[in-house]
Amino acid sequence: MPDNRDPPDDLALLDAVAAALRAELGDAIEQQPGFHNPDEAGQVNRAFRVVVRLILRPETPREDDPNLLSDTLRRLARRRLKAGLLATHEIEHLLPLEHQGRDDWLAYLILTPWPEIEHLLDTRGPDSL
């Protein structure tokens, strides 16, 4: 069966899932990225990445397009940071703050409460370096 969904519909659905997780779990959400390995990330972070993969390509094995998850999470993170009225230089600093290609870092930026993002900008932001 062909996939006729419009990608923005997927992004809207994924945005809604992330918002529901933040609302349900609040500041106690276990969204942290892994230390050296994305598989060490928090349970909510890992579960969210699974949900994203399933929504994007439910019938496609994850090895078929290894960049699909990262690209989608990067778009979602950028969208959330823009919605939070961050400046472009702040967004471009936060997205690759951890190693490039780290899906767990992008999921963290999508799921973490705003005070954590503000803390990152205060302590590791482009103006604090």
User: Of the candidates 111, 124, 27, 15, which has an alpha carbon nearest to the alpha carbon of residue 72?
Assistant: 15
User: What's the CA gap between 95 and 9, in Å, rounded?
Assistant: 23
User: Of the candidates 126, 67, 66, which has an alpha carbon nearest to the alpha carbon of residue 92?
Assistant: 126
Segments making up each domain of the chain, as ranges: 7-124
pTM reported for the whole predicted model: 0.81
Q: For residue range 52-106, what is the model confidence (pLDDT) as tens digits?
A: 988 887 665 555 666 888 899 999 999 999 999 999 999 999 998 877 768 889 9
User: What residues contact residue 76 under an 8 Å CB cut-off, 6+ apart?
Assistant: 11, 14, 15, 18, 106, 110
pLDDT at residue 128 greater than cutoff 80: no
